[in-house]
A = this chain, B = another copy of it.
Amino acid sequence: MGLTKTDLFTENQNEIAMLAKAIAHPARVAIIEYLLKVNACICNDIVNELPLAQPTISQHLKELKNAGIIKGNIEGNAICYCINEPIFSKIKGLFGPMQPIQNNCC
């Protein structure tokens, strides 16, 4: 096994899980925080900012891009990365509609 049974759950549940997974690593949280701070930067700035090797950063950026959380633009021989606002807003509001009425257990 080791394979998540995606087909057994709703599209919405899978989407929430997918977005959460993209954030489920401190390096990716750090990348998001850095991008929010500087608004936009090239990949190399992130490599210099974080204590991880360049291929590792590249891999994390790829996952964030696949999840739609960031986007990259080619600028000469560099790539300018920034937060993809619509998806990021979605993440912030992910659990908004989930409101426990009361907590009368435990």
A residues apposed to B, CB below 8 Å: 4-6, 8-10, 13-14, 16-18, 20-21, 23-30, 32-33, 35-36, 39-40, 50-52, 71-73, 80-83, 85, 88, 91-92, 95-96, 98-106
Contact = CB atoms under 8 A, between A and B. Distances in A.
Contacts of A73: 105-106
Contacts of A105: 39-40, 73, 80-82
Nearest to A50: B8
A58 B103 CA distance: 22
Given A14-B26, A36-B98, A92-B96, A85 B106 contact: no
Dominant secondary structure of chain A at its interface with chain B: mixed
A96 B88 CA distance: 11
A71 B24 contact: no
B103 A82 contact: yes
